Amino acid sequence: MSYLTIAKVSATYGAATILDGINLEIGQGEMHVLLGPSGCGKTTLLRAIAGLAAPSAGEIRLAGRRIDNLPPKDRGIAMVFQHYALFPNMTVRQNLAFGLEQKKLSRAEIARKVEATLDMVALGPRADVRPHQLSGGQRQRVALARALVLEPSLLLLDEPLSALDAQIRKRLRDELKRIQRDTGLTSILVTHDQDEALTLGDRISVMNAGGIAQTGNPRDIYHRPHSLFVAGFIGDGNLLAPEELERLTGIRSADTVVIQPQDWRLEGANGTAAAPAGDEAGEAIRLPGVVADASLSGPSIRYTVTAAGLRLKVETPNHYDSTQFSPGADVVLTLRRRDVHAVTG
């Protein structure tokens, strides 16, 4: 059942249409990710939900109540921004307490909620310092805690991790996932980072030019894109036009297909280092190719392999004893037929 319902929401700035009739239903407890290129309208949609931007048309309902005509403070929504907006002259604890004091809660209740939230984000030991004494990651945890302590009906996260360096970003991403799961807080996260979207989202909406191109769970969005736009935006798949596919494999398709780099198996043309296709006989497609390029990328080895005049992206697991083929090596590519996916609407 839908907890947050966005129905035919449009937004314009002057003559420009920024959101074009958005429909979206988000379930209670879901972490929903809005993913898309810069300027596609992600932030505008988030701001419309929060009440910071007025839609020109449509309706927004939260927990059965229409909210698009309410002022932001009456919507029960908390928001975390890319750049923390903490009060610099207050301690971490005071930053958290501020919103609760505005709500006129008792001192005892404020103290209880603040301590519980500090625990949740592991900031207890830093509760009495001011923001400038914290690292960027810690500050963003305070910003998150300040939103959580209000126990909102909906949490909006606008690129909360993108100002952080890679390592902290990854750690905070895991932490965010844990906290969101533990609290069961319905959340919407805006990002243009596909790894972040695939890791964090229970479901993902890929946005393009003011509309939603596809909504689905991360596996479907990744493996079953419905359009060339989504296929091109997610992952690093091989997009092959029908004539290219036929030339390469003999398979006929009415549509462009996507083949993910890790779905290929690679072996030496002389039979060395055969990687098992893991398939029933007959289902596999085998074709000769030549390695054009090879590079290590942590857990995998990335190749460019030329075959039938095409340059294919191929990725194999980087085990310590994996054979690494050098440029110029003759190889055989193997593929399961069911990993050839037609990109259709």
Contact call for residue 194 and ligand ATP (CB under 6 A): no
- What's the min distance (Å) between Cβ of 70 and ligand ATP? 21
Contact call for residue 55 and ligand ATP (CB under 6 A): no
Whether 21 and 58 have beta carbons less than 8 Å apart is answered as: yes
Q: Is 85 left (phi over 0), alpha (psi -120 to 50) or beta?
A: beta
Count CA atoms within 13 Å of residue 228 on its CB side: 5
Name which position in 27, 39, 317, 327 contacts ligand ATP (CB under 6 A).
39
Quickly count: other Cβ atoms within 10 Å of residue 124's Cβ.
13
* Residues in 239-298 at the binding interface with ligand ATP, rule: CB under 6 A: none
Name which position in 9, 35, 41, 186 contacts ligand ATP (CB under 6 A).
41
Q: Which amino acid is at 55?
A: P
Can you give the C-alpha Rg of the chain in angstroms? 24
Name which position in 38, 106, 297, 326 contacts ligand ATP (CB under 6 A).
38
Contact call for residue 13 and ligand ATP (CB under 6 A): yes
Q: At what angle do helices 166-183 and 107-120 cross, to 10 degrees?
A: 130
How far is the C-alpha of 228 from the C-alpha of 241, rounded, in Å?
11
Contact call for residue 212 and ligand ATP (CB under 6 A): no
| Site size toward ligand ATP, by CB under 6 A | 11
Name which position in 6, 9, 42, 149 contacts ligand ATP (CB under 6 A).
42
- What's the min distance (Å) between Cβ of 115 and ligand ATP? 35
Contact call for residue 43 and ligand ATP (CB under 6 A): yes
Complex with ligand ATP: residue 36 or 201, whichever CB lies closer = 36
Helix (H, G, I), strand (E, B) or coil at 149: coil
Whether 323 and 303 have beta carbons less than 8 Å apart is answered as: no
**Interacting residues toward ligand ATP by CB under 6 A:** 13, 18, 36, 38-44, 192
